[in-house]
Amino acid sequence: MSLFQKSQVSGRTLLLVSALAVPLLVLAVWFFFFFNRGLAFSNDQFSFKTPPGWHYLNLEESGLEKLIVVKVYQNNPDITFHVSTKLALNSINLADLPKELKATFEKEVQKFEELGIGFQKIDDQDALRYEYRYQATGSDGKVFLTHQEMFIVQVGAQVFYLVGQAADADYKTARPKVSRIINSFRFK
């Protein structure tokens, strides 16, 4: 086989490989972006996005539809994020809330421990960040220490409770994911 014939065979092989590689590359990019997206929740009051791998919890099956607007979760480790709302007749004082929250939690749950209090902006709204842990019982009946980070925001007459939760041992992994959701939060 002459050098010219080898070059023609190599050229055809390269063309064939290129013809197959381009669609495979496009498919791989589409697959990555399609399946590597998180959830995007939106209603008439707020919206947020989750990191990839999160799912909606069916609130009707869990009996939470009257208490919670939306709840999302991720497995391995188990992390949840939910939003509750309440109508407030008056403006709430975020600075006074930690004392009230602590008193309520100490009455309602076992082994309550306040971990941190802070203030921040969520979508340009003032928010209280209240971090705590307590002893909880899972749906399987096992007792564990749960770690929660609650953000309380008042927008007009509506008070929003944004809560990230995981087992205490997993919250170090959960924190950046909860922060990502909080940073994406928008009020309407």
And the tokens for 37? 């997206």
The pLDDT of residue 29: 47
Q: Which CATH architecture has domain 37-187?
A: 3-Layer(aba) Sandwich (3.40)
pLDDT digits (tens, 9 = 90+) for 32-72: 444 557 999 999 999 999 999 999 998 887 777 788 999 99
Q: Record the pTM.
A: 0.80
Is 50:181 a contact under the CB 8 Å cutoff? yes
Comparison of pLDDT for 156 and 4, the residue scoring more: 156
pLDDT digits (tens, 9 = 90+) for 164-187: 999 999 999 999 999 999 999 999
Q: Would you place residue 100 in the very low, low, confident or very high pLDDT band (cuts 50, 70, 90)?
A: very high
User: Residue 128 and residue 93: Cα distance in Å, rounded?
Assistant: 10
And the tokens for 53? 């791998």
User: What is the mean predicted confidence (pLDDT) over 100-120?
Assistant: 97
Does the structure show a pLDDT above 60 at 17?
no
Q: Nearest to residue 133, comparing CAs of 98, 107, 169?
A: 169
User: Residue 8 and residue 22: Cα distance in Å, rounded?
Assistant: 21
User: Residue 152 and residue 126: Cα distance in Å, rounded?
Assistant: 9
